[in-house]
């Protein structure tokens, strides 16, 4: 009696390889030859013509199954199975050693390629420096932007500090805004607490973005046209929508993953910019073209090597700040679309970003509950805020108050903290309930109200008294929110809808 080398069982249609002498079940060896073209034991090339049929007496009685055999037959069967298992283990060990050798070679090749790339980058930088010296000697200046999409990468890192012209602009903005901070009061006609308590759902914009994958992830309102708003979604698209006409004014593509943040740069004398930051490590900038009436791509920022987790516009209107999970942040000039600063890597990733209303501080959330505040001019840490909550959580949203004295942030997954920046401690904590999960926190422009969006809708509280003024639960899970002009509306993004709450009539 003999057994199939592959299955270890007596073959019904036995064949033998005249090259290796091994016996196989015909259907099994033919399938193996079709898939691999080699002998499964020796690895040599094997064709169907190399197989010889073993002719047995058709009248011979087939072997009995093991359950009907004697104990010696059972032991013999077990021995055959053990031998097949040992051979298979030996083959797996050989394959494992071969894979290790291939991996070692791949790692060596990758290391060599990295060294070559590093050398080429040094040579490129040296060539650029030499070219810059030649241009300076000949009185040449770099050519102006052609208006096409400009790639902004880490090739222009400026780690030693901001340019003097940018510093002067930041200082000028700070001097102007900080001088009036104590006198900042709510504008005439601003919504009162009593009116906020009467807010109701007044409008819903449905079916925004694609249904697969569905969901609006971020929202920004226009300050010059109250009916226009900007959204980003899981469908990798940025949309500009006009509520008054119920039309999509622009549907902008270019991202390869979901959009995390959007912003509108509206500055008198300059064209409107639509800005987005995504999970694909890119930020994109579109500009309104007055000639065509459409938005065209102006710049793509590929500075960071991690997902972009924060986007903020400086009060001057000419500087864009980005935060990333790669533990760095960067700043970019919106007048010529160049990078003007990129920080050294921090010890922790940055999970959120907010800029001080006077433009001198940047606040970053981290995945370990702490909040890091940087001086925007020097790039050094000015303060670190650590909540008393012992369980680590991700600080996924931050918001400075308009007067610049307070910072709103999650205090846990289901509570808020109002930090007093003058004392660098939490002035008050608001519990939202164990089932609430914070998605976004936001101060209004008067610093009278603070809002929080989460998996259980939107809630609005009064600053100083910390009373809950109103709660909207019909929106379900709200990913982002914004206060409308004069605080008379609250906008929230929920699923594929944008809901608006305000005064009836």
> Mapped to the 3 state alphabet, what secondary structure does 253-314 carry?
CCCCCCEEEEEEECCCCCCCEEEEEECCCCEEEEEEECCCCEEEEEEEECCCCCCEEEEEEC
Percent of the chain at pLDDT exceeding 70: 90
d(CA 280, CA 265): 22
Q: Is the peptide bond before 213 cis (omega within 30 degrees of 0)?
A: yes
Give the pLDDT confidence score for residue 156 in this predicted structure. Answer: 42
Residue 52: pLDDT band (50, 70, 90) is: very high
141 pLDDT above the threshold of 50:
no
Pairing of strands 438-443, 216-221: unpaired
CB neighbours of residue 19 within 10 Å: 14
Q: Does residue 330 lie in a domain region?
A: yes
Q: Using alpha carbons only, give the angle 491, 497, 503 rounded to the nearest 5 degrees.
A: 35
65 pLDDT above the threshold of 70:
no
Q: 229-238, 288-297, 393-402: which has the minimum mean pLDDT?
A: 288-297
Give the pLDDT confidence score for residue 308 in this predicted structure. Answer: 96
Query: Is residue 424 classed exposed, middle or buried when 0-12, 13-18 and 19+ CB atoms within 10 A define those classes?
Result: middle
Residue 88: pLDDT band (50, 70, 90) is: very high
Arithmetic mean of pLDDT, 426-434: 92
Longest CA–CA span in the chain (Å) reads: 110
Is residue 213 helix, strand or coil? coil
d(CA 63, CA 59): 12
Residue 342 is part of which domain span? 150-178+193-502
Arithmetic mean of pLDDT, 428-443: 93
Q: Does residue 353 lie in a domain region?
A: yes
Q: How many domains does the chain have?
A: 1
Average pLDDT of the chain to the nearest whole number: 87
d(CA 262, CA 283): 9
Arithmetic mean of pLDDT, 178-195: 81
Question: 219-234: b or e for each residue (b if 16 or more CB lie within 10 Å)?
Answer: bbbbeeeeebbbbbbb
Give the pLDDT confidence score for residue 157 in this predicted structure. Answer: 44
232-277 confidence digits (pLDDT tens): 999 999 999 999 999 999 999 999 999 999 999 998 888 889 999 9
CB neighbours of residue 41 within 10 Å: 16
Give the pLDDT confidence score for residue 361 in this predicted structure. Answer: 94
Q: What's the CATH code of the domain at 404?
A: 2.130.10.10
Residue 372 DSSP code: E
Q: Does residue 302 lie in a domain region?
A: yes
305-321 confidence digits (pLDDT tens): 999 999 999 999 999 99
Task: Report the phi/psi class of residue 479: left, alpha or beta, with left for phi > 0 and alpha for psi in -120 to 50.
Answer: alpha
Closest among 95, 94, 66 to 8, alpha carbons compared: 66
Q: Does residue 58 lie in a domain region?
A: no
Give the helix/strand (H/E) hosting 494.
strand 489-494
Residue 148: pLDDT band (50, 70, 90) is: low
94-112 confidence digits (pLDDT tens): 999 999 999 998 998 998 9
Give the pLDDT confidence score for residue 311 in this predicted structure. Answer: 97
505 pLDDT above the threshold of 70:
no
Q: Does residue 316 lie in a domain region?
A: yes
Give the pLDDT confidence score for residue 68 in this predicted structure. Answer: 57
d(CA 232, CA 426): 32
Q: 115-124, 181-190, 343-352, 407-416: which has the minimum mean pLDDT?
A: 181-190
214 pLDDT above the threshold of 90:
no
Residue 151: pLDDT band (50, 70, 90) is: low
Q: Does residue 401 lie in a domain region?
A: yes
Q: Does residue 97 lie in a domain region?
A: no
Give the helix/strand (H/E) hosting 203.
strand 200-205
d(CA 350, CA 374): 12
1 pLDDT above the threshold of 70:
no
Closest among 482, 484, 502 to 492, alpha carbons compared: 482
Maximum average pLDDT range among 168-177, 289-298, 349-358: 349-358
Give the pLDDT confidence score for residue 103 in this predicted structure. Answer: 92
Q: Does residue 50 lie in a domain region?
A: no
31 pLDDT above the threshold of 50:
yes
Residue 167 DSSP code: H
Residue 59: pLDDT band (50, 70, 90) is: low
Q: 50-54, 157-161, 169-173: which has the minimum mean pLDDT?
A: 157-161
Residue 142: pLDDT band (50, 70, 90) is: very low
385 pLDDT above the threshold of 50:
yes
Arithmetic mean of pLDDT, 417-433: 92
> Mapped to the 3 state alphabet, what secondary structure does 66-125 carry?
HHHCCHHHHHHHHHHHHHHHHHHHHHHHHHHHHHHHHHHHHHHHHHHHHHHHHHHHHHHH
Give me the half-sphere count of Cα atoms (radius 13 Å) on the Cβ side of residue 456. 13
């Amino acid at each position: 009696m003999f057994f199939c080398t592959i299955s270890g069982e007596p073959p019904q249609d036995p064949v033998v390889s005249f090259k290796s002498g091994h016996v196989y079940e015909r259907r099994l060896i033919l399938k193996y030859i079709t898939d691999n073209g080699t002998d499964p034991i020796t690895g040599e090339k094997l064709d169907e013509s190399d197989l010889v049929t073993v002719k047995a007496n058709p009248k011979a009685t087939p072997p009995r199954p093991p359950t009907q055999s004697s104990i010696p037959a059972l032991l013999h069967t077990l021995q055959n199975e053990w031998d097949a298992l040992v051979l298979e283990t030996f083959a797996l060990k050989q394959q494992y050693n071969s894979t290790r050798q291939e991996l070692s070679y791949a790692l060596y090749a990758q290391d060599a390629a990295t060294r070559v790339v590093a050398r080429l980058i040094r040579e490129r930088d040296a060539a650029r420096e030499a070219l810059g010296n030649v241009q300076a000697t000949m009185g040449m200046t770099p050519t102006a932007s052609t208006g096409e999409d400009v790639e902004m990468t880490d090739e222009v890192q400026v780690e030693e500090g901001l340019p003097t012209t940018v510093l002067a602009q930041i200082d000028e903005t700070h001097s102007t805004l900080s001088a009036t901070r104590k006198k900042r009061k709510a504008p005439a006609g601003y919504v009162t607490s009593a009116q906020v308590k009467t807010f109701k759902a007044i409008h819903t914009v449905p079916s925004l973005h694609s249904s697969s994958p569905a969901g609006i992830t971020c929202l920004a309102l226009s300050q010059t046209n109250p009916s226009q708003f900007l959204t980003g979604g899981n469908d990798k698209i940025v949309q500009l929508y006009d509520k008054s006409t119920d039309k999509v004014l622009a549907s902008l593509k270019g991202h390869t993953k979901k959009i995390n943040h959007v912003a509108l740069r509206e500055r008198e004398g300059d064209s409107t910019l639509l800005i987005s930051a995504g999970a694909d490590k890119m930020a994109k900038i579109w500009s309104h073209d007055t000639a065509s009436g459409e938005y065209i791509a102006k710049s793509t920022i590929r500075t960071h090597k991690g997902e972009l987790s924060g986007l903020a516009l400086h009060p001057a209107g000419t500087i864009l700040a980005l935060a990333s999970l790669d533990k760095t942040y960067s700043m970019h000039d919106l007048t010529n679309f160049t990078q003007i600063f990129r920080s050294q890597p921090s010890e922790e990733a940055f999970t959120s970003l907010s800029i001080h209303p006077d433009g001198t501080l940047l606040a970053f959330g981290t995945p370990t509950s702490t909040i890091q505040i940087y001086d925007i001019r020097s790039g050094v840490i000015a303060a670190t805020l650590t909540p008393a909550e012992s369980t680590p959580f991700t600080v996924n949203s931050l918001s400075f108050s308009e007067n610049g004295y307070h910072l709103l942030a999650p205090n846990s997954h289901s509570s808020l903290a109002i930090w007093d920046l003058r004392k660098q401690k939490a002035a008050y904590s608001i519990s939202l309930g164990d089932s609430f999960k914070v998605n976004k926190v936001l101060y209004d422009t008067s610093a009278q109200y603070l809002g929080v969006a989460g998996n259980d809708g939107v809630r609005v509280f009064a600053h100083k008294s910390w009373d809950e003024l109103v709660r909207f639960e019909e929106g379900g899970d709200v990913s982002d929110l914004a206060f409308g002009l004069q605080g008379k509306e609250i906008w929230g993004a929920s699923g594929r809808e944008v809901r608006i709450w305000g005064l009836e009539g």
